[in-house]
Chain A
Amino acid sequence: MLQSDLEKKMTLQPHQKAYVQRASFSREGATVYLGHLDLMTCFERAARRAELPILYSQGYNPRPMMVFALPLGVGIETRCDYLDVSLDRSYDPVLFTEKMNACLPEGLRIIRSKEIPEPKDSIMSIVTTATYRFEAPGIREAMEQAMGMETLIVTKISKGKEKQTDIRPLLLSLQKSEDEDPDSVEFYASAGSEKNVRPDLILSSLHTYCGMDRDVADNTRVIRTGLYAGNYPKIIPIDQAKIRKFEDFANN
């Protein structure tokens, strides 16, 4: 078979109906140090070990159809991130959760899952806001100071070029806390494909503008505690967001 014929054969396959498991997951321990691509591979392999009826992408290099709501950078823990896994049949979310958890490496866990109709909007496109928790000596005061600033200009390196950017508008608000622990703080920040702020840039601004020691900033424990859809402050957790169905979209 010639290469061109092979290409045709591979691409001309009809769309198969997908049953999507929208699952929340946590990561801690050793897996915190994985980059996002490696993290995705870990989930793919776990789903394969669990022998779940996963759908694969078409084309030359078929991959299990899994979409993560927001990349998780190296060194960031999470208590509530999300992914969509496409299966070829309807599946009990409790069983899905159990099977995945038996096959995930230590530190990664599915918290809960629910089956949703195949969404028109990719899970990535609906994320607008994240909550983070920072833990380090004196972190609350530093963050409060940062919230009082008009601008927080940081240097961002993208595509090998240095770029100055103001991250202050992306820090939305501090979360209220009862004990006002000086060594931890939680806050809302813009997240997603349109506006996003990386936690390491926030920490570096705390060092530059709020007198935080470099070493303390670098050793701050960073935990993502939630991901939301909607316009801040009217936001809703990703797994409760309303879903525009693929079928409705396809019929229009």
Chain B
Amino acid sequence: MKHYPAPLSRSDLMSVESPARYVGGEFNAIIKEDMMDEIEKTGKTSYVRFAFCFPDIYEIGMSNLALQILYHVLNDSDFVACERAFSPWFDMDKILREKNITLYSQETKTPLCDFDVLGFTLGYEMCYTNVLQMLDLGKIPFLAKDRGEDDPVICCGGPVTYNIEPMADFFDIVMMGEGEEMILEVCEKIREYKRSKGTDAPISRMQLLRNCDSIDGVYVPSLYEVSYHYGDDETADGRARGAKVVPADDSVKKTIRKRIITDLDSCSYPTAPVVSNLRVVHDRSYLEVFRGCIRGCRFCQAGFIYRPVREKSVDVLCEQGRLLEKNTGYDEMGLLSLATSDYTCFPELAENLLTTFEGHHTSLSLPSLRLDSFSLDLREKVQSTRKSGLTFAPEAGTQRLRDVINKNIKEEDIFSALRLAFMGGWSTVKLYFMLGLPTETDEDVLGIADLAKRIEKLYFDVGRETGQRMRRLDITVSTSLFIPKPFTPFQWEMQNAKEELMRKQRLLKDNMRSRNIHYAWHDFDSSVWEVVLARGDRRLSSVLLEGYQAGHYFDAWDDHFRLDEWVGILEKHGLTIEDFSREYSEEEILPWDHISVGVSKKFLLSERHKAHEEKTTPSCREHCSGCGAATFGVGECFAKRGED
């Protein structure tokens, strides 16, 4: 493979932290040499040149599975050449600006403005401003309406795009749902567009967007208009209550329904992903086991937007696991899903993979594993290294509140699993909770402290009963803040004000003093802003642009996030935090009501009501609750319905 040097001097590269982020040259990276030859000879190419953009630093982007999946889907096709680009950290950002160097791709160091299409993957709201940084450094106009025939088409996808309204002004095309098939259909349209240039009948950029609108799952924000509702005469206070997004004309689809892959077994999966030369955040290979989640925790966006549950077969997974290990050389493989233990053939899969890796010094990483005797035994087998901590996510301190959020974890289960674990020599426990959940009282907050203290007591009881020599106990209680997210039963709920959350945090801290218990809390400021971006509407695009231009980006990095300054900019635009953290009424039209994830609004509403009645809903495996995801005609729940 030919080496394309970065357009930077040695001294520039040597002056930044981790210069290896900016030079490419990774194993399994793909360069289509025939395209480069064509460009060298003729100055152009018939390939659709796609820059897959990750709006955060290299080490985070290279740990992202979506990037690896779509990079290979695109490069496997015979008409697309996909390269990668990442947000440059502040030190490199400064050099690029000072020297007027256009942000470039990792593979061929091509300036972003020379690509046909840029595809951003958006995994979290706080990365929005980095999209603007990449467009800016890539010398591409920010606003979709300002881009012309020669500018790249700007696309995005990923979990947060289900409410893309705050970023709607910046994207030409938004892809809703799983991208493996859709992204190629979009590229096909871009190929037609590119081919038509210079012919008698060139396709206009506007026509291209309309052509893309005909693809299922594609949302073209510029083809929709937004109206804001200010309530009737009695309630009107000048604040918008609802944002209605409607097609600008009849030829545009009214509802955009997300796309899913119906058969994961036959869907391409990257078994030879790009291996970073630099150590990255999650330095291991990933085996995706299934999509969707049977649980339905009411605060969890992933639990609803990825429905229905679709599993890969054990045979396919074992073969993919074998190839992944061989093609990457990683000494660790992570099994990826929303809840690994819920995989129907989990014991068989784990045994098979462990046999495949026998003698290779390859370990399995099993995140999101429910604790029971089987998984404890398995951990013992997979962990050649020191015993790491045990993790539980009860999310709430009392059974009442756990029923409200539909977190079906029982205290008896936690305690019986912990008893086994303590007897097996484990002494580090991590507990995850959320503060500010709907209906939460001080009693629920104190319930967290109580649970931690009872676990502490259990540890010493086990020590006494067994006469074992016990190590120093370390319980970490970690709280994050509840953020109401679109497409969850809690999408209407309010977020506690910052002062109230701080009070609850103090209450917990003051009541949980012990040398064995550590309290770790999450930063408030970013959670306050996250709710604005998560439930915001199109009015935020100008806020985000102004904030970026004032130098605010890398907001996902707490050290660089300035809530007070963002609030100032928000207010300058006539908006407040309260506009987005308030309780949304069930009658108002939500900024994401024109998007369908399969799960119906009616179902979400009924789940909300059940939450307030403290009633739980069984998992999809026990009983179909009719969420609406069966409309896709596949998935575990659909198959089950057929049997009933």
Contacts and interface: CB of A to CB of B under 8 A. Distances in A.
Q: Do A and B bind each other?
A: yes
A215 B380 CA distance: 55
A42 B277 contact: yes
A41 B19 contact: no
A91 B477 CA distance: 52
Contacts of A221: 10
Nearest to B468: A2
Contacts of A44: 329, 331
A64 B25 CA distance: 23
Interface in A53-98: 56, 60-62, 64, 74-75
B326 A105 contact: no
Contacts of A61: 385
Interface stretch (A28-36, A125-133, A174-182, A227-235): A28-36
Interface in B266-290: 275, 277-279
A3 B10 contact: no
B329 A103 contact: yes
Contacts of A183: none
B275 A31 contact: no
A49 interface: yes
Contacts of A28: 3
B19 A33 contact: yes
A38 B277 contact: yes
Contact of A56 (B361, B424, B468): B361
B13 A33 contact: yes
B19 A218 contact: no
A51 B361 CA distance: 12
A220 B9 CA distance: 10
Interface string A1-31: 1110010000000000000000000001111
A51 B13 contact: no
A47 B385 CA distance: 21
A45 interface: yes
A107 interface: yes
Interface residues of B, number: 39
B20 A105 contact: no
Nearest to B16: A33
A93 B369 CA distance: 44
A219 B9 contact: yes
Residue from the set B11, B279, B330 with the largest chain A CB neighbour count within 10 Å: B11
B3 A62 contact: no
Interface in A183-228: 215, 218-221
A75 B14 contact: yes
Residue from the set A37, A42, A60 with the largest chain B CB neighbour count within 10 Å: A42
B279 A41 contact: yes
A15 B386 CA distance: 22
B25 A29 contact: yes
B328 A49 contact: yes
A48 B385 contact: no
Interface string A144-156: 0000000000000
B386 A60 contact: yes
Contacts of B27: 45-46, 49, 103-106
B385 A33 contact: no
B385 A3 contact: no
Contact of B328 (A37, A45, A220): A45
Contact of B331 (A2, A3, A48): A48
B1 interface: yes
B20 A38 contact: yes
B384 to A, nearest CB: 7
Contact of B14 (A3, A42, A74): A74
Residue from the set B9, B275, B330 with the largest chain A CB neighbour count within 10 Å: B275
B154 interface: no
A2 to B, nearest CB: 5
Contact of A46 (B9, B15, B329, B384): B329
Contacts of B425: 1-3
B21 to A, nearest CB: 9
A143 B329 CA distance: 43
A45 B275 contact: yes
B384 A34 contact: no
A10 to B, nearest CB: 8
A51 B326 contact: yes
B33 interface: no
B16 to A, nearest CB: 10
Given A64-B361, A219-B11, 13 more contacts: A31-B277, A33-B19, A33-B22, A44-B329, A44-B331, A45-B330, A49-B327, A56-B361, A61-B385, A74-B14, A105-B25, A106-B27, A218-B11
28 contacts: A1-B380, A1-B425, A2-B425, A2-B468, A28-B3, A31-B25, A31-B277, A33-B13, A33-B19, A37-B279, A38-B20, A38-B278, A44-B329, A46-B27, A48-B329, A48-B330, A49-B326, A49-B327, A49-B329, A51-B326, A62-B361, A74-B19, A75-B13, A75-B14, A105-B27, A106-B27, A218-B10, A218-B15
Interface of A: 1-3, 6, 28-31, 33-35, 37-38, 41-42, 44-49, 51, 56, 60-62, 64, 74-75, 103-107, 215, 218-221
Task: Across the A-B interface, give the 6 residue pairs with the lowest CB-CB distance, nearest first.
Answer: A30-B25, A45-B329, A218-B11, A48-B329, A29-B3, A49-B329
